[in-house]
Amino acid sequence: MQIQAHLLEPFFHHEVHNIFEGKLGLNEPRVTAYVARLLCNFAETDSLFLVRGAGGHTVDELNAMRLAADPVHGTAPSFDAERAMRKYIGDYALFVGGMVPEAIDTGLGTCSPRRPTHGELIIAGKESYYIVSQFNVFEYKKEAPMFERLCDQFERYMLGLSLVREELRKRLVLPQQASHGSTG
């Protein structure tokens, strides 16, 4: 029996399912459930950027995370630590690319450290999910095909999350704006 981990999970699951299956034809129940949980995890501010500001991770930080995930040339103390960090990088890239476009570098340039571009997030996310999918033995065997699917269809899932974002924005922001307009 699966225990509901977060109060928002049924809400996110419904929204993700409607977009992924209804609009994009992605009938992947395990991925849908995973992405709904991912949204719940990132709904917690301390999980979103691992104690980062709303601006997200810079390119240098993203590259540092990728190096930290490497048990051979980097600082990951084990292959389990590599998998955990790679999973986070994939989740982060998918979430930010789909749900937080303001954390993506638009190429307009600022004085602050550079944020990743959309393409850099796709590369980091696909690479990370691919590595996670290669952990396909023992306790990770059941999840490996899901991460392979996330890697293979990363751009479509990112698009799906951007559609979820727009749907949530319409549902949660526009009705409030409309009611303010009718009172004035």
pLDDT tens-digit series, residues 141-166: 999 999 999 999 999 999 999 999 99
Do 164 and 16 form a contact (C-beta atoms < 8 A)? Answer: yes
Residue predicted with more confidence, 162 or 57: 162
- Range with lowest mean pLDDT among 13-22, 30-39, 48-57, 157-166: 48-57
What pTM did the predictor assign?
0.84
Give the pLDDT band (50/70/90) at residue 77. very high
Residue predicted with more confidence, 67 or 48: 67
Written as six digits, the tokens of 74 are 């980097």
Q: Say what the pLDDT of residue 51 is.
A: 34
pLDDT above 70: residue 101: yes
C-alpha distances (whole Å) from 132 to each of 51, 78, 80, 90, 106 are 23, 14, 10, 9, 29
pLDDT above 50: residue 31: yes
